[in-house]
Structure 1
Amino acid sequence: MLEWCTLKPCFSVGSGVVVVVVVVVVVVVVVVVVVVVVVVVVEIVVEAAVAVVVVVVVIVVAVVVVVVVAVVVVVAVVVVVVVVVVVVVVVVVVVVVVAIGGGRRRMEEM
């Protein structure tokens, strides 16, 4: 491979070294670009995954809050209905007792 040159410049050894250096530089540049692209893509994917997890957690918390509020509303409605029924029953009992008591007095007066 080594040529002995007399008058003209000898490029055989030097050109081989240049080719090797160029190939090494190109390979290094390609590897660096690939690594940077992979890092950026992984970062984007991780950020997207974190965003998805945050959205899912927010949705789950919202659903739990809605369910808890619905249960509280149902319990409140049941309590109100029970109170209304108790009040109506007490009023009816009082009215019946008063009516029976008033009827007995009238019969006794006669």
Structure 2
Amino acid sequence: MLVLVVVAVVVVLAAVREVVVGVVVVVVVVLVVVVVAVVVVAVVVAVVVVAVVVAVVVVVVVAVVVVAIVVVVWVKCCIVVVIVVVVVVKVVVVVLVVVVVVLVVVVLIVVLVVEVVVEVVVVVVVVVVVVVVIILAVVVVEVIVVLVVLVVVVVVVVVV
């Protein structure tokens, strides 16, 4: 009778393990789909950024303004890289001080696109962290199940 109880417990534990693994697999698949969607959005945003940069290059003809933009972007990028120790690189907003209203509108569009790209990068980092945590949780659950089964087997061997 005790053997039947032990076998039943082992079968139930195995079934619970399979259900947990199945749920984790479904969650991982959903997260992979979300990551692919985020990558597609990032590609679209990158195309928009390239188009805006081309428009800015066409509008900005004065070499002094181009040099000032490059210096501002370089300095801001260096500050960000030092602060986050090369873990997160934030694309800085390029500010153009020009009297032409069209150039100001183009700069506002660049600022909005850069913010979207930074948010997409943050979402990707969060998704990667969640996937790692889920994988670690599955490993811990499997180790616990194996330890419980080993204890049950040892008890059965000692009792029998």
Task: Please state which band the TM-score falls in when normalised by the shorter chain.
Answer: 0.5 to 0.7
Return the letter of the residue paired with 2:148.
Answer: V
Q: Which residue of 2 aligns with 1:27?
A: 115
Q: 1:53 aligns with which of 112, 125, 141?
A: 141
Greater RCO (CA < 8 Å, at least 6 residues apart): 2
1:11 shift after superposition: 4.5
Of the three residues 123, 147, 150, the one matched with 1:62 is 150
With normalisation by structure 2, the TM-score equals 0.37
Instruction: Quote how far apart the aligned CAs of 1:12 are.
Output: 2.6
Structure number, greater radius of gyration: 1
Q: CA RMSD of the aligned region, Å?
A: 1.4
Show structure 1 runs of 5+ residues with no match.
1-9, 73-110
Q: How far, CA to CA, are the matches of 1:12 and 1:50 in structure 2?
A: 58
**Consecutive unaligned residues in structure 2, runs of 5 or more:** 1-97
- Which residue does the alignment assign to 2:101? 13
Q: Tell me how many residue pairs correspond in the alignment.
A: 63
1:44 correspondence with 2:132? yes
Shift of 1:29: 0.6
Paired letter, 1:53:
V
What is the one-letter code of the residue matched to 2:131?
Answer: E
Counterpart-to-counterpart distance in 1, 2:99 and 2:133: 49
The 4+ residue runs of structure 1 with deviation greater than 6 A are none
Give, in whole Å, the separation in 2 of the partners of 1:11 and 1:50.
59
So what's the TM-score if we normalise by structure 1? 0.53
* CA shift for structure 1 position 31: 0.7
